[in-house]
Chains A and B, each alone.
Chain A
Amino acid sequence: MDSISGLLGGFAALANPETLLYMIGGFLIGTFFGAVPGLTSVLAIALLLPLTYSLDVTTALVACASIFMAGMCSGSITATTINIPGAPSSMMTALEGYPMQQRGEGAKALGHAALGSMIGGSLGALLLMVMAPLAADVALLIRTPGKFSLIAFALIVIIIAQRGSVTKGMIATLLGLMVATIGIDVVQPLARFTFGSSVLIQGIDMMPLIIGTFAISELLIQADSRSDRTVDPSKIQAAKVRRRDFIPPFSEVREIGMMRYLKSAVIGYAVGILPGAGGSMAAFVSYAESMRSSKHPERYGKGNPEGIAAAECANNSMCGGAFVPMLTFGIPGDPTTAIVLGVLVINGLQPGPQFMTQQLDLIAPMFASLFVSALILIPLTLYLLGPYFLKIVSIRRDVLYSSIAIVALVGSYVATYSTFQMALALVFGILAYFLRKQNYPSVCLLLGFVLGPSLEEYCRRSLSISDGNPLIFVTSPDSLFFLALTLVFFYFMVIRKPKTRLPQAEASET
């Protein structure tokens, strides 16, 4: 009963004009960053992170949630209209949306994408509100060895989720773990890897790592491009859309069917809970399942609204699922929730099993923001701004990237009022640039860094409980459960890989 009133209190908190302003502002920023090819909502949240030092924690979380939700759906704008997914999670949408655009049904495709995002996003938020307290109760049962195995499970799944580059995922994760060991040891008061520098004794702050990995590296990559604008203006003329065309016909929505929406939302939510999976994986799995169960699988890849609905419903539902492990176990499974964890840590809060009950008043507005962003802001933004989307996202690159550079660098300065943090952001930016150029997943670097200290601490505490006997990890039931789960995931994701044939793959073979 307390939790229900707490969750309702979250919706009431959105009535505060300042909080509401940040939610709407965050949504518009997330829409912009999600729609511009090359930028992502992760970058938008990373740029927001320094500002959370001066911002109320609830307001910051509300803004993060709306950016997250907006970033997931807005990638479909450029995916549909010009066949360039604004975000990786919209790649499956491009497969169906762009053929519809070529048939003159681009606005309708965007309408289907918004409807799918709206249904998926709101169901994902509702599932989060229902499931998170239950997951928190389960989390209370996990003891120290189990916590180690859970984090090890998360890291291994993050690595093996990197399709085709598991070794590179492993190297990036280990690099993150290495960076995390700099500074005072997690158990003993002993400085490690400071190389005689007093500024490294406190360790590496999360902020310069996030800013460097997501903002500075993006600047370095974009510096190679020679175009003046983010989207070619000639393509905007070819992709004109009208407001009334955005509403999808009821007959098509009925043909897609409520069950498909529900199934896609559940798939997206479940994928969101998995560490390292993210929106792209959610959209891919849901699209593949939708094609498998469709009465007309031959229509896929040729502009089928079913595929758009399945992909968009799943990637927005994923937002709700991604928060579950972060809030209940303190384990972020993707970069967005890792940054949200950073927001909490900056404000002296540590997520864990009792976090949901003890701090519900702080995080309930974030749940409400996810729900309201999906249910109201997605369709409203499409209706109001839809005809102007492409004009908005086609801006001068020099102005855009200079602005990002200033927000990123001055933002790094905020944490300690020292240019050392700015220099660290530059160093991590260069490192992430090299990693990205060689196709190393930079998200693994961040998650290794975030989870590293807990992994080491629980490992050492477990072994000190058992007098150095490593068998504690297999004799403790909760630990054994997560080790067995790791093996199951390894079997299904590495040994027995999914063999779904998608239209894109088939097209490339012909």
Chain B
Amino acid sequence: MVLAVITLIYLISAIRLGPPMRDGNMTASFFPIAIGVVMLLALAAAMAHAIRGSRGVTRAKPAASDDAPAARQYLGLSSGAIGVILLTAGYLLAFDMIGYFVSTFFYVLLLCSLFGGGFTKGLVSRIIAAVVITLAGYLLFEIIFQVRLPTLWSQ
């Protein structure tokens, strides 16, 4: 459904670029309009296929959904994935504002806690890991590959 909405926005924008053909030649809108139309057809086919499939499953196994508890999902995202997205979005904001060192240290520390299953378990080893990964990243990018990373003082 999300893809269908994106495709519709894309198709409307493509149509607003102008007519697809002018003087017998393709214009800048021809290709996007063609892609948009084919995409909508493909999405309709996928949806029809999914509906047919779900009907078949319901007929064959009416009580299949009771077998195992599904992981909690929010808008199709698992709680772990949401955690990674929020941490990464925060990191991107902090990266420019407070520089590489501070932002990376806290990002790695929080990410380690997320992947390690909690904030209290093995906190010391995670702090050490965060320091080592931050320094290793600095060594790799700034020293070896000479990439100028933002610092707190360069803002």
What residue of chain A has the Cβ atom nearest to residue B43's Cβ?
Answer: A171
Q: Are A459 and B81 in contact (CB under 8 A)?
A: no
Q: Are A190 and B17 in contact (CB under 8 A)?
A: yes
Q: Are B141 and A414 in contact (CB under 8 A)?
A: yes
Q: Are B145 and A51 in contact (CB under 8 A)?
A: yes
| In the complex with contacts A167-B42, A181-B35, A410-B141, A222-B25 CB distance below 8 A | no
Q: Are A193 and B39 in contact (CB under 8 A)?
A: no
A-side binding surface: helix, strand, loop or mixed?
Answer: helix
Chain B residue numbers with a CB within 8 Å of A464 are 25-26
Give the residue of B27, B45, B129, B147 whose beta carbon is less than 8 angstroms from that of A167. B45
Q: Are B35 and A178 in contact (CB under 8 A)?
A: yes
| In the complex with contacts A171-B39, A407-B137, A181-B84 CB distance below 8 A | no
Q: Are A171 and B117 in contact (CB under 8 A)?
A: no
Q: Are A468 and B116 in contact (CB under 8 A)?
A: no
Chain A residue numbers with a CB within 8 Å of B136 are 403
What residue of chain A has the Cβ atom nearest to residue B38's Cβ?
Answer: A174
Chain B: minimal CB distance from A432 (Å)? 12
- CB of A430 within 8 A of chain B? yes
The interface bits of chain B over 8-43 (1 if a CB of A lies within 8 angstroms of the residue's CB, else 0) are 001001100100010011111011100110110011
Q: Are A406 and B31 in contact (CB under 8 A)?
A: no
The interface bits of chain B over 70-81 (1 if a CB of A lies within 8 angstroms of the residue's CB, else 0) are 010000111011
- CB of A243 within 8 A of chain B? no
Chain B residue numbers with a CB within 8 Å of A410 are 100, 104, 137, 141, 147, 149
- CB of A209 within 8 A of chain B? no
What residue of chain A has the Cβ atom nearest to residue B28's Cβ?
Answer: A185
How distant is the Cα of A460 from the Cα of B25 in the complex, in angstroms? 8
Chain B residue numbers with a CB within 8 Å of A403 are 133, 136
Chain A contact residues (Cβ within 8 angstroms of B): what range? 35 or more
Chain A: minimal CB distance from B138 (Å)? 9
How distant is the Cα of A185 from the Cα of B14 in the complex, in angstroms? 12
Q: Are A223 and B31 in contact (CB under 8 A)?
A: no
CB proximity to B under 8 Å, residues A55-83: 55
How distant is the Cα of A407 from the Cα of B147 in the complex, in angstroms? 13
- CB of A402 within 8 A of chain B? yes
Give the residue of A193, A398, A459 whose beta carbon is less than 8 angstroms from that of B116. A398
Chain B residue numbers with a CB within 8 Å of A188 are 27-28
Chain B residue numbers with a CB within 8 Å of A170 are 42
How distant is the Cα of A135 from the Cα of B27 in the complex, in angstroms? 33
The interface bits of chain A over 219-232 (1 if a CB of B lies within 8 angstroms of the residue's CB, else 0) are 11111111010000
How distant is the Cα of A422 from the Cα of B90 in the complex, in angstroms? 12
Q: Are B88 and A223 in contact (CB under 8 A)?
A: no
Give the residue of B49, B81, B129 whose beta carbon is less than 8 angstroms from that of A220. B81
- CB of B151 within 8 A of chain A? no
Q: Are A54 and B147 in contact (CB under 8 A)?
A: yes
The interface bits of chain A over 373-394 (1 if a CB of B lies within 8 angstroms of the residue's CB, else 0) are 0000000000000000000000
How distant is the Cα of A426 from the Cα of B146 in the complex, in angstroms? 24
- CB of A127 within 8 A of chain B? no
Q: Are B137 and A175 in contact (CB under 8 A)?
A: no
Chain A: minimal CB distance from B62 (Å)? 23
Chain A residue numbers with a CB within 8 Å of B30 are 460
What residue of chain B has the Cβ atom nearest to residue A408's Cβ?
Answer: B88
Q: Are A426 and B92 in contact (CB under 8 A)?
A: yes
How distant is the Cα of A410 from the Cα of B28 in the complex, in angstroms? 35
Q: Are B112 and A399 in contact (CB under 8 A)?
A: yes
- CB of A413 within 8 A of chain B? yes
Chain A residue numbers with a CB within 8 Å of B114 are 223, 398
How distant is the Cα of A175 from the Cα of B38 in the complex, in angstroms? 11
CB proximity to A under 8 Å, residues B78-121: 78, 80-81, 83-85, 88-89, 91-92, 95-96, 100, 104, 107-108, 111-117
How distant is the Cα of A417 from the Cα of B142 in the complex, in angstroms? 13
Q: Are A171 and B3 in contact (CB under 8 A)?
A: yes
How distant is the Cα of A496 from the Cα of B13 in the complex, in angstroms? 40
- CB of B140 within 8 A of chain A? yes
- CB of A142 within 8 A of chain B? no
Q: Are B39 and A175 in contact (CB under 8 A)?
A: yes
- CB of A401 within 8 A of chain B? yes
CB proximity to B under 8 Å, residues A160-209: 167-168, 170-171, 174-175, 177-178, 181, 185, 187-188, 190, 192-193, 195
| In the complex with contacts A426-B89, A468-B21, A223-B35 CB distance below 8 A | no
How distant is the Cα of A403 from the Cα of B42 in the complex, in angstroms? 38
Q: Are A406 and B104 in contact (CB under 8 A)?
A: yes
The interface bits of chain A over 422-437 (1 if a CB of B lies within 8 angstroms of the residue's CB, else 0) are 1100100010011001
Q: Are B32 and A192 in contact (CB under 8 A)?
A: yes
Q: Which of B17, B32, B36 has the most chain A CB atoms inside 10 A of its CB?
A: B32
Q: Are B10 and A178 in contact (CB under 8 A)?
A: yes
Chain A residue numbers with a CB within 8 Å of B112 are 398-399, 402
| In the complex with contacts A54-B147, A426-B89, A467-B24, A405-B39 CB distance below 8 A | no
Chain A: minimal CB distance from B123 (Å)? 12
- CB of A397 within 8 A of chain B? yes
Q: Are B96 and A419 in contact (CB under 8 A)?
A: yes
The interface bits of chain A over 14-29 (1 if a CB of B lies within 8 angstroms of the residue's CB, else 0) are 0000000000000000
What residue of chain A has the Cβ atom nearest to residue B142's Cβ?
Answer: A410
CB proximity to B under 8 Å, residues A132-174: 167-168, 170-171, 174
Chain B: minimal CB distance from A231 (Å)? 15
Q: Which of A188, A403, A405 has the most chain B CB atoms inside 10 A of its CB?
A: A405
Residues of A within 8 A of B (CB): 51, 53-55, 167-168, 170-171, 174-175, 177-178, 181, 185, 187-188, 190, 192-193, 195, 216, 219-226, 228, 396-399, 401-403, 405-407, 409-411, 413-414, 417, 419, 422-423, 426, 430, 433-434, 437, 456, 459-460, 463-464, 467-468
Listed by A's residue number, 23 A-B pairs whose Cβ atoms lie within 8 Å are A181-B31, A192-B13, A195-B13, A220-B81, A221-B81, A222-B115, A223-B80, A225-B80, A398-B111, A398-B129, A401-B111, A402-B112, A405-B84, A405-B111, A406-B108, A407-B140, A409-B88, A411-B141, A422-B92, A433-B81, A437-B76, A460-B26, A464-B25
7 closest A-B pairs (Cβ-Cβ)?
Answer: A223-B80, A468-B24, A398-B116, A54-B145, A398-B115, A398-B112, A185-B28
